Amino acid sequence: MEVAIFSSTPYERQYLEEANKAENHMLKYVDVSLDTSTVELAAGHGAVCVFVNDKADAEVLEALHKGGTRLVALRCTGFNNVDIEAAARLGIKVVRVVNYSPNSVAEHAVALLLAINRKVHRAYNRTRDSNFSLDGLIGFDLCGKTVAVVGTGKIGCVFARIMIGFGCRVIGYDPFPSPQFEALGVRYAAPGEIGEKADIISLHCPLTPQTHHIINSQTLQRAKPGALLVNTSRGGLVDTEAVIEALKSGRLGGLAIDVYEQEASLFFRDLSSEIITDDIFQRLVSFPNVIVTGHQAYLTREALTTICETTLRSVTAFEANQPLENEVKVG
């Protein structure tokens, strides 16, 4: 089957080519994001393969349908960038990667937490300049601290297990309680408990209309002074301007993010020789107690292998008119 792969990168292609040895599809690599201005590049391809910042709204899906596309394969777990109802109306199937490596994302969240708490980013820059002063680098022991895990699916459970290993007290929040989470010997938070007790809040929930800006000015006002916030899920979970105000006031002690609400115009490209015109992002990264990585939490060999194999197997199943194990359906 002919597959147009949008937002493709050189490091992904070797994994896609390896996975395709067993599937034998015709892969066309497109190094730009899918949107209304690039959708014509998919014309004649029965399937398109997209990533987190590709845009597959109703307008794009209609153009894809006219061009002969009948399958949208997400090489990620989240599908907030696809209009599922429009796809169903057009008869376009949508598949995703339900489970690739929860360890990769959870471990990166821990890495960000350790770095922002122990000021690793600042220490790294200092020692490169032969500055070995320790002023301003004081952190705190994780042992004994309260960690709130918002979203207790596979990734949240792995993150919670790691935090338990550090000796932390772990509480969770999720409208759909997980027996696997509770089996770790932890519990779900009582109303208001996260704001009162959480020294660390880590976000692991999907982006939905209900979770959009789940971290906002109201929730931040209730946060424990000096709390650290980690987000490796989706940028839209956080109201960035509200976070900036909380950082300025000292209510928020630090922020470590791998995702950003307006990341589509920034991430996955080299902008080191350009002027970044996103004033909110520029304000954010000006804080010494903020760490930003460019949506790399998933980026391990194990995760890339599983993502590519799962995605191309779904394309094969679609081509053979077989049941789609990882199909995203309306509702």
Q: How many domains are contained in the chain?
A: 2
23 and 119 housed in the same domain = no
125 and 228 housed in the same domain = yes
245 and 96 housed in the same domain = no
- Side-chain half-sphere exposure of 183, counting CA atoms within 13 A: 7
Using DSSP bridges, classify how beta strands 71-74 and 93-95 pair: parallel, antiparallel or unpaired.
parallel
Confidence of residue 99 (pLDDT cuts 50, 70, 90): confident
Residue 300 CB contacts under 8 Å (≥ 6 apart), including other chains: 101, 103, 104
Using DSSP bridges, classify how beta strands 2-5 and 26-29 pair: parallel, antiparallel or unpaired.
parallel
Residues 229-242 have pLDDT tens digits of 999 999 999 999 99
95 and 244 housed in the same domain = no
Looking at the domain assignment, is residue 329 inside a domain? no
119 and 212 housed in the same domain = yes
Q: At what angle do helices 154-165 and 102-117 cross, to 10 degrees?
A: 50
Residues 116-137 have pLDDT tens digits of 999 999 999 999 999 999 999 9
Looking at the domain assignment, is residue 69 inside a domain? yes
Q: Read off the tokens for 250.
A: 């000292």
Amino acid of residue 162: I
Looking at the domain assignment, is residue 324 inside a domain? no
CATH code for position 68: 3.40.50.720
Q: Read off the tokens for 70.
A: 């009948």
DSSP code, position 236: G
Q: Kind and range of the H or E element at 2?
A: strand 2-5
Looking at the domain assignment, is residue 330 inside a domain? no
89 and 126 housed in the same domain = no
With the CA atoms of 51, 54, 59 and 61 taken in that order, what torsion angle do they form, in degrees rounded to the nearest 10? -20
120 and 259 housed in the same domain = yes
Domain containing 33: what range? 2-100+300-319
211 and 248 housed in the same domain = yes
Which residues are designated catalytic? 234, 263, 295
Looking at the domain assignment, is residue 276 inside a domain? yes
Confidence of residue 147 (pLDDT cuts 50, 70, 90): very high
Residue 218: its pLDDT value, please? 96
